[in-house]
Chains A and B, each alone.
Chain A
Amino acid sequence: MAEGLGNRMREERNARGLTQVALAEQIGVSRKTINTVENGVFIPSTTLALKIARAFGRSVDDVFYLTGEE
């Protein structure tokens, strides 16, 4: 099965009452980027993944995970 990148961004964001726009402003990217990462359309760079995880006060492993692992 092919591996992909899953994430818990929506859960983390909702738990903090953050909108996509608010999270985007906090990180310094566009809402579009947050939206595409959250929906799995776009795989973020390590830098962006670290920024997103930091915005939630989590590690990258907590927010992102590999899907389809055997």
Chain B
Amino acid sequence: MMPLLAAVFLTGQAVYALGRVDAGSTIDRVKVAAWVAWALALLALLATGGGIFRGREIRKLMDDESTRANRNQAYAVGFWLAMGTTITIYGLTAFDTIAPRESLHLIVTIAVAGALVTFGYRERRDHLGG
């Protein structure tokens, strides 16, 4: 589920790759707001593991020790991807100008998607194993 959401999230970034979004028009503002909402929703999903509408006992089971370990690993991957992207962008500014919004967009997109894919992959592997 989470890798799928990450794929949808990344696919949605084509909007930014194909055309400049400068948040000057109402449509662009909506696009920016939608992306922020998406990113926040995915971060909330990663942090909670989902199951908001399920009972307390189920949520406790869904967030047991191995899940927390997988989440910590996903956070680490997200952190290093954010660092790598930031350093890369910083290096690229020697050759071209990159707008702050575009930079932040790239960093957050790559870090969130990487963390989600990592978490989803590890959870799936653990569910299927044995």
What is the interface of chain A, defined by CB distance below 8 A to chain B?
Answer: 20, 28-30, 32-33, 35-39, 41-42, 44-45, 48
Contact = CB atoms under 8 A, between A and B. Distances in A.
19 contacts: A28-B61, A29-B64, A29-B65, A30-B62, A32-B66, A32-B67, A32-B126, A32-B127, A33-B64, A33-B66, A35-B130, A36-B66, A36-B126, A37-B66, A42-B65, A42-B66, A42-B69, A42-B126, A45-B65
Contacts of A35: 126-127, 129-130
The bracket for how many chain B residues form the interface is 10 to 19
A41 B65 CA distance: 12
- Say what secondary structure dominates the interface of chain B: helix
A30 B129 contact: no
Interface of B: 61-62, 64-67, 69, 123, 125-127, 129-130
Nearest to A33: B66
B56 to A, nearest CB: 13
B126 A41 contact: yes
Contacts of B129: 35-36, 39, 41
